Structures are given as structure tokens and as C-alpha cells.
Amino acid sequence: MITEIKDLITTHIGEQAIVRIEEEHLHPILVINDSDLVKIAFLLRDTEGYYFDFLSNISTLDYYPDYRFAVVYHLSSIPYQTQLTLKVEIENDRRLDNLPEIPSVSAVWRTADWHEREAFDLMGIFFTEHPDLRRILLPDDWQGYPLRKDYEDAETYHGIAIK
């Protein structure tokens, strides 16, 4: 199935859309170009025979000490009972004033709204065109992104010791 999906994407969007296929995992992963993410998402959702109508999860990876992050999309087609994993890799200098950016897919799948907010809140991934990108679990004035491997735990928050 992964080869068919690769062919669908390259036919409709172009060869540049696919970075590689990772087949060494339990489920193969299609690594795609971030600039084609939204077009690929609409194509996979709207194409008869595939109809990936459900985004079940977005997860993020920190490749510390490398200057690289990844966002992983777990898709399901409920009518066809198939699953697909997409991954987008992002190079970034890890500075807190220069967050890694990727386009939002919240216009494609409504569930992306909260998943993207969680990835923003905990890993510091900025989703462009997101309708309401703000922290979802931590206070608005929290410093840093706790799931990053280089995150240093705060000792206090508003004068209260954190243990």
C-alpha cells in the first residue's frame, strides 16, 4: 500500500513531495516535504479508494543533540480500514525565539487543532495558519518546552517551589 500512496502523491503533487520511505518500522513511514504537507493531506483525505478521514494522533520527535525535529501524523481510513503514518522533518537551531515551523493541517482534519496545540505547548513546534495556536496544558507564561531533550526543569513558578 505504501508504494501505491507514494505513486499517488508523486503523480498529483510531484517527485519533490516524497523525501523517503522508512520501512524498518512496524508500519512503514512516508517521510514527506513540509512544503507539500497540506496538499498531501487533502489528497489523502479526498481521494476515492484511500479516504484517510481520521487523524488519530500527532506526535513529535526531538533528535537532540542534532538541530532537527520531526512531526509524525497517524492517519486512518475508517471506511477502508487502513492506516498510514506520515513524517515531516524540520531543521532548526533550537533557539526558543526561533521555533521550528510547519504548516497546520487543522483545515484538513479538525482533530489536528488540539494535537497541534499540544505539540506547540510541549515541544515548541509552531504550526503556521493554525486558527488558535496557544498553550493547552501549561500556563500561558510558562518558559520553555518540557518534552525537548535539552529542557531544564524550572525550580520555581511564581515563587512556588516545583518538586
> Predicted confidence band at 158 (pLDDT cuts at 50, 70, 90)?
confident
Q: What is the pLDDT of residue 46?
A: 97
Q: Which three cell numbers stand for residue 129?
A: 495558519
Q: Which three cell numbers stand for residue 45?
A: 483525505
pLDDT at position 147: 96
pTM: 0.92
Q: Rounded to whole angstroms, what are the CA distances from 72 to 125, 153, 154, 159, 162?
A: 12, 25, 28, 37, 31
Q: Tell me, which fold does domain 2-161 have in CATH?
A: Beta Polymerase; domain 2 (3.30.460)
Q: What is the mean pLDDT of residues 37-57?
A: 97
Of 8-12, 18-22, 26-30, 83-87, where does mean pLDDT reach its minimum? 26-30
Residues in contact with 123: Cβ distance below 8 Å, sequence separation at least 6, in sequence order: 60, 62, 69, 145, 147, 148
